[in-house]
Chain A
Amino acid sequence: MNRWVFLAIFTSVSSTVIGQVFFKLAMNQTNGDSLRMSRFLPVFVMGIATMALGFFLWLGLMSRFDLSYLFPFEGLDRLLLVFAAWVALKERMTPTLWLGVVLITAGIALVSVSG
């Protein structure tokens, strides 16, 4: 596989994941007594921007490659998200959560290879 294609896929999937982390960080700002707009808005806008980058990159990839070729990589998002939430949000994984993540990822992979 062309390494630029792989880089584009990886960038697209990680942008979506980073966008989710930004959303979570932004919503954490709203949990206090008052909503601090100056703290919420920049993070939220970053979330929208990274999501948009991931979305349009994915759209571009879809116009060049078969969906069945690209779709298995979408299953990566869950594993990347676990890593990102652990590093950036200090969220803790439990054995139960791991089992759930593995089953869901395996299920999505199975659906995409059985096209």
Chain B
Amino acid sequence: MPGTMLSQNTDSPRPNLFYRIFGNPYTQIFLSVLMNAAAQLLLKHGADESVRASSSFALGFSGLRSMWVWGGIACMIGSLVSWLYSLRFVQLIVAYNLAGLLHVIVPLLSWIFLGERIAGLRWLGIGLVFAGVLIVAKPIIRIEEL
């Protein structure tokens, strides 16, 4: 029946590119990890800055004066929103282990932006984590390509 075909097409149009990318729960897991990593770096930078600025030790609350810390908090909230969205569709075990990528990205960003050193054995550990994440991700990539 061509009529029903037509109405089906108008009722559910092909999702646009934006939705296909950002509506994908795995994209959101990746964004969640990126925002979490950014938050870690912003918080670290803000904490270092506020320690230099304040003479008294005030349980970390002095950090709230730093714009970097507020940026970090904003990234944390964004990260949580993306994470919750992806949990609607993905098993917790799978999502949680994909988010293990955080343990790869944070050291890399600290190395690049904060100038922290990474010793030999630590590179090996980071490599193991990355391999583990790839193994968890591989069956998903195969499904998504279908």
Closest A residue by C-beta to B80? A23
Q: Is there contact, CB below 8 Å, between A100 and B125? A: no
- Tell me the minimal C-beta distance from B134 to chain A in angstroms: 8
* Known A27-B84, A81-B96, A96-B138: A108·B91 in contact at CB below 8 Å: no
Contact A107 B103 (CB under 8 A): yes
Q: Is the CB of A103 within 8 A of B93?
A: no
Q: Is A114 in contact with chain B by the CB < 8 A criterion? A: yes
Verify A24–B87 contact, CB threshold 8 A: yes
Report A-chain residues with C-beta under 8 Å of the C-beta of B94.
Answer: 97
Which residues of B have CB within 8 Å of A21? 92
Does B88 sit within 8 A of A, measured CB to CB?
yes
| Shortest distance between the CB of A31 and any CB in chain B (Å) | 6
Once A104-B97, A111-B122 are accepted as A-B contacts, the answer to whether A23 and B87 lie under 8 Å apart by CB is: yes
Asked whether any CB of chain A lies closer than 8 Å to the CB of B133, the reply is yes
Report the minimal beta-carbon distance from B97 to chain A, rounded to whole angstroms: 5
Q: How many A-B residue pairs have CB under 8 A?
A: 104
Closest residue on chain B to residue A30 by CB atoms: B88
Number of B residues near A (Cβ < 8 Å) is 33
Which residues between 72 and 108 of chain B lie within 8 Å of chain A, taking CB atoms? 83-85, 87-89, 91-94, 96-97, 100, 103, 107
Chain A residues within an 8 Å CB radius of B133: 100, 104
Residue-wise, chain A 40-81 has the 8 Å CB interface mask toward B (1 for contact) of 000000000000000000000000000000000000001001
Tell me, in angstroms, the Cα distance from A59 to B130 when the chains sit together. 27
Which residues of B sit under 8 angstroms from A26, Cβ to Cβ? 84
Main secondary structure of the interface of A (DSSP, over half): helix
CA distance A25 to B136 in the complex (A): 22
A side interface size, CB within 8 A: 34
Answer whether residue B15 sits at the interface, using C-beta atoms and an 8 A cutoff.
Answer: no
Query: B88, A27: Cβ atoms under 8 Å?
Result: yes
Can you spell out 28 A-B residue pairs with CB atoms less than 8 angstroms apart?
Answer: A20-B96, A23-B83, A24-B87, A24-B92, A27-B84, A81-B96, A85-B91, A96-B135, A99-B135, A100-B132, A100-B135, A101-B93, A101-B97, A101-B136, A102-B132, A103-B129, A103-B131, A103-B132, A104-B128, A104-B132, A104-B136, A106-B128, A107-B103, A107-B125, A107-B131, A108-B125, A111-B122, A111-B126
